[in-house]
Amino acid sequence: MDPIPLAELAPSTDTNTSVNVPARHSASSAEGQEAGNHSVAQDGPPIAPPPDRGWSAWLAVISGFIQLWASFGILNSWGSFQAVYVNEPWSKDVKLQDIGWIGSVQPGLLFVLGGVAGYASDRLSATVLMVLGTCIFSAAFLLLAEFGASLGTYIALQGFLYALANTLLYYPILSVVSTWFDRRRGLSLGIVASGSSLGGIFWPLVVDALNEAFGLKRTLQAVGLMPLVPLFIASFMIKERFPDTKITLLRAFQRLTQCFTNAENKSQRNTTNTVFATVSATTGTTTRGTFDSIRDPSYIALSIALFFIYGGMLIPFNLIPVFAEENHHPDVAHVLLAICYSGSVVGRIGTGTLADYFGTFNMLCLMAVLTAALTACWVTMTSLPAMIAFAVLYGLFSGGLIPLGSACVAKITPPEQIGQIGLRLGFTMMVCSLSAFGGGPLSNFLLDGTGENGWLAASLFSGIATLVGGGIIFVILVSRMVRGGQRYNF
């Protein structure tokens, strides 16, 4: 799977426009709010637009690059893992579509937990969440190396537990990096997203080489240990732009200690309400109106479009190695996936940069159409040169779809809802989880259940789903232009 990185913070504003960040509530500021106002608190001092430069900004980008190289690079390598698993003794009587559930649970659960993780990343320290995710990440593969002897074990550990780790690693990056850039937003997001593509090149080759030399158990142990140090470095390297709006472990302990100390002197105080008041006071947000930000019709339509785009585009990434093996090129099965992600590096950085000039919605629509057209032709590319060409072009076209999707979500996020950007992105991922869960098993079912036409059915399903999503993006783009609210480069 392609990673899912990093969103724009909000629509671009000129230098005379300021946005209020979420600030701690006070009684005096609350009195001045209108009764119908459900946005985040806006009683703090105005801030300048994102700086687009500085050590802290670029260290956040480097941290995101490292994190995506390790976590999403391995997730993107599922096709290589699947090619290994089909030859293992435990999979002898297991259907290909059932093995596909391992790869579908990984992005599916990442998306399902998006709402909760996005909400948490708006409020909790990124370092805390990323350190926890790193520990779970390593534990998942080390446990799999010791106890992986059945499909259920692989689904539980490489599916659910690994997906939980990725969730804790990804969404803090999503929230933090997006606050540092405006004019260089596309470039910065492209650099971060390219980490997953380089990981998609690196890890399939590592998995193939280690499995040939040492077997599956040692391979899984290496996968669990090799990223450990880089992920810890990335966790402590990242610096948040608004640290006072986040709960750190020390701050949470101090606030809770103070609240419970006060509660001893006031026995009538409700402990549960005290805890929620602590979170609100620390983050400067209220629970009232929290979910109003996900009711915008354009936001809902965009989420539906991404549901189709992501569900369709992930299928070739999972099946490219299997397609090569079935067409008598098993020696290049893993290499093709690496070639695909090589093209994806260029696609991510290139489309992100072009989106700064021609519009995020325009680029997302164009890349979705090109990806769909190429996927529909996939079944005819059975020679080795044709497979290589498909891998390069598919990586190039599809590379920017997920980062551009996140950028589009942020593009239609009003400035006053800046404190809920993680929540909006998270709920979009929850919508996409349905296609992420079902896309892999459904494509494998088409391969197993349609006989000689299996690959044709799978490629058409992937292409049509991506094209439908691109069509919805086009409708959103036209509707906003017709209403006169957006430029051509929206």
pLDDT in tens, 118-134: 878 777 888 888 999 99
Tens of pLDDT, residue by residue over 27-36, are 334 333 333 3
Q: Point out the least confidently predicted range of 39-48, 288-297, 368-377.
A: 39-48
Q: Indicate the average pLDDT of the chain.
A: 77
User: For residue 13, what pLDDT is reported?
Assistant: 40
Rounded to an integer, what distance in angstroms lies between the CA atom of residue 104 and that of residue 106? Answer: 5
Rounded to an integer, what distance in angstroms lies between the CA atom of residue 225 and that of residue 326? Answer: 33
Rounded to an integer, what distance in angstroms lies between the CA atom of residue 367 and that of residue 340? Answer: 15
Rounded to an integer, what distance in angstroms lies between the CA atom of residue 428 and that of residue 422? Answer: 10
> Which residues, in sequence order, are CB contacts of 261 under 8 Å at separation 6+?
none
- Torsion on CA atoms 464, 466, 467, 468, rounded to nearest 10: 90
Question: Which of 87-101, 114-128, 172-186, 201-215 is predicted most confidently?
Answer: 201-215
Q: Point out the least confidently predicted range of 84-88, 278-282, 369-373.
A: 278-282
Mean pLDDT of 47-69: 83
The neighbouring-strand residues paired with 247 are 124
41 to 22, 30, 241, 424: CA distances (angstroms): 5, 9, 18, 17
Residue 76, pLDDT > 60, answer yes
* Residue 206 CB burial class (10 angstroms; 0-12, 13-18, ≥19): buried
> Which residues, in sequence order, are CB contacts of 361 under 8 Å at separation 6+?
408, 411, 473, 476, 477, 490
SS3 112: helix
Mean pLDDT of 430-436: 80
Residue with the larger pLDDT of the pair 231 and 340 = 231
Residue 462, pLDDT > 60, answer yes
Contact between 99 and 151 under an 8 Å Cβ cutoff? The reply is yes
Please identify which residue in the block is written with the tokens 């919805």.
472
- Torsion on CA atoms 58, 59, 65, 66, rounded to nearest 10: 160
Contact between 238 and 66 under an 8 Å Cβ cutoff? The reply is no
Mean pLDDT of 139-149: 93
User: For residue 415, what pLDDT is reported?
Assistant: 65
Please identify which residue in the block is written with the tokens 């005096």.
28
Strands (E), 256-342: none
Residue 348, pLDDT > 50, answer yes
Helices marked H in 226-294: 228-237, 249-265, 271-283
Residue 281, pLDDT > 50, answer no
Closest CA to 319 of 14, 32, 50, 99: 99
Tens of pLDDT, residue by residue over 260-272, are 666 555 544 444 4
Rounded to an integer, what distance in angstroms lies between the CA atom of residue 291 and that of residue 288? Answer: 8
What percent of the chain is modeled with pLDDT above 70? Answer: 75
What do you get for the CA distance between the two ends of the chain, in Å?
Answer: 27
Mean pLDDT of 274-293: 47
Superfamily (CATH H level) for 50-286+293-482 = MFS general substrate transporter like domains (1.20.1250.20)
User: For residue 242, what pLDDT is reported?
Assistant: 67
User: For residue 38, what pLDDT is reported?
Assistant: 38
Tens of pLDDT, residue by residue over 188-197, are 778 888 898 8
CA–chain centroid gap for 254, Å, is 32
Residue 218, pLDDT > 60, answer yes
The neighbouring-strand residues paired with 47 are 19
User: For residue 276, what pLDDT is reported?
Assistant: 40
User: For residue 193, what pLDDT is reported?
Assistant: 85
Closest CA to 102 of 88, 120, 121, 115: 88
User: For residue 251, what pLDDT is reported?
Assistant: 62
The angle subtended at Cα 329 by Cα 325 and Cα 335, nearest 5°, is 90
Mean pLDDT of 95-114: 83
- The residues spanned by each domain of the chain are 50-286+293-482
The b/e string for 145-181 (b: 16+ C-beta within 10 A; e otherwise) is: beebeebebbbbbbbebbbbbbbbbbbbbbbbbbbbb
Residue 427, pLDDT > 60, answer yes
State pTM to two decimals: 0.72
Which backbone phi and psi does 399 adopt, to 5 degrees?
Answer: -55, -35
